[in-house]
Amino acid sequence: MRAISSLAALLALSALGLAVPSPKKGKGNGAASSQQQQTPQQQAAAIPQGISQATDGSTILDTNATVNGLNLRFKISGPASAFTTASGVAGSKARARAAGTLGLNILLHGDGGQSFFDFPNQAVQNGLMGVVVLAPSEQLLWGQHAGPPAGLSRVDGVADAQAVADLVSTVLPQLVAFDPAQLFFTGVSGGSLTLSGFFIPAQLAQFAAPGTGVLLMCGALEPQVDVVNASAFAGTSRIHFQSTQQELALLQPAIPAAIAAYEAEARAAGLSDAQIGLLQTVDNTPDGGHCEFDEQGFSSGIQLIADNFASIMQGGDGAVEGINAPTVLTSVVGNEDLQFSGAS
């Protein structure tokens, strides 16, 4: 097993059911002891919300809303003028539910929530504003609201997929003007499990358009629920699976199963092999561990893919500086059975 080089990787391994060291107890420090007794959700709630600046100088709004009884905290990164006057952002100009010119890239973090705080898809990138959503979960696990991590099991995946869909369709339009024909969803590890296992089959059809897609980083599940109207998204929406050579052992059979399942949905919708290959792609070239796409670390690997989102998902050539391949856009056809060199 490769050494765990960051807290983010440690959280990811723990949440996927692998044994990791427990936090050490504080010695005579009441505050530290109290913090250790808090759940990750409680610790996250102690981090202030509000308005800040993104890496490109645009605005980040960190707020929350109750959706289907679930408290969803989320961040939106975009130009101040794109926010609605009801958002409270200085310089906002848009009306609620008004269509905008920029699309959205909505990210679901991995188990433990590291990517929510890193916000790797912040700023306006190739016409897309960044959105990141925090899982409504004690342990910050997408698809599991309570209890310790349970590996690939996501017992609340249906509810979370519905909540994300309703957030996008009903809540976000009240806060920011965006183009509904340019909607992308990005998953990291456990977030990818919820997207592929529940969101794509049950919800993607309502958002499907030629300018939409789903990027699944370091994780995927075959549909865990009935696929609704696959013909609506199979021929329009991009799906890219990105893994590494030393992926987590329990994900190594799950990702190929997901690839085969969505390829089958596209074929059932009448797509040819060539058409499928343009829309559904896969890569696991990087010789790194879980999410280490730069072969260095968890957060830095995710950032590398986020920085190259347009090249991978928006009509680019798939070249990613830092990944030793001419392109990561390899057709899933004939490449369903990913080969791994080891396990992290």
Q: What confidence score (pLDDT) does residue 344 get?
A: 87
Whether 11 is in a domain gets the answer no
What Å distances lie between residue 184 and 8, 92, 117, 170, 234, CA to CA? 24, 23, 20, 17, 15
- The whole-chain average pLDDT of the chain stands at 92
Q: What angle do CA 329, 243, 10 make, to 5 degrees?
A: 150
pLDDT of 175 reads: 99
Q: What is the pLDDT of residues 107-154, one digit of tens each?
A: 999 999 999 999 999 999 999 999 999 999 999 999 999 998 999 999
| pLDDT score, position 36 | 66
pLDDT above 60 (res 4)? no
> What are the pLDDT digits (tens) for 264-301?
999 999 999 999 999 999 999 999 999 999 999 999 99
In 3D, which of 340, 300, 286, 341 has the Cα closest to residue 7? 300
Q: What is the extent of the structural domain holding 261? A: 48-331
**Domain assignment of residue 38, yes or no:** no
- How far the first Cα of the chain sits from its last, in Å, is 5
* Torsions phi, psi for 270 (to 5 deg): 100, 10
Is 21 among the domain residues? no
Within-domain flag for 112: yes
Q: Is residue 23 part of a domain?
A: no
User: How many folded domains does the chain comprise?
Assistant: 1
pTM, entire model: 0.90
2 occurs within a structural domain = no
| Residue at token pair 């794109």 | 82
Rounded-to-integer distance, Cα 99 and Cα 182, Å: 11
pLDDT value for 31: 44
Query: Within 13 Å of residue 283, how many CA atoms lie on the same side as its CB?
Result: 24
Q: What CATH code is carried by the domain that includes residue 178?
A: 3.40.50.1820
Non-local (6+) Cβ contacts of 340 within 8 A are 245, 246, 247, 252, 284
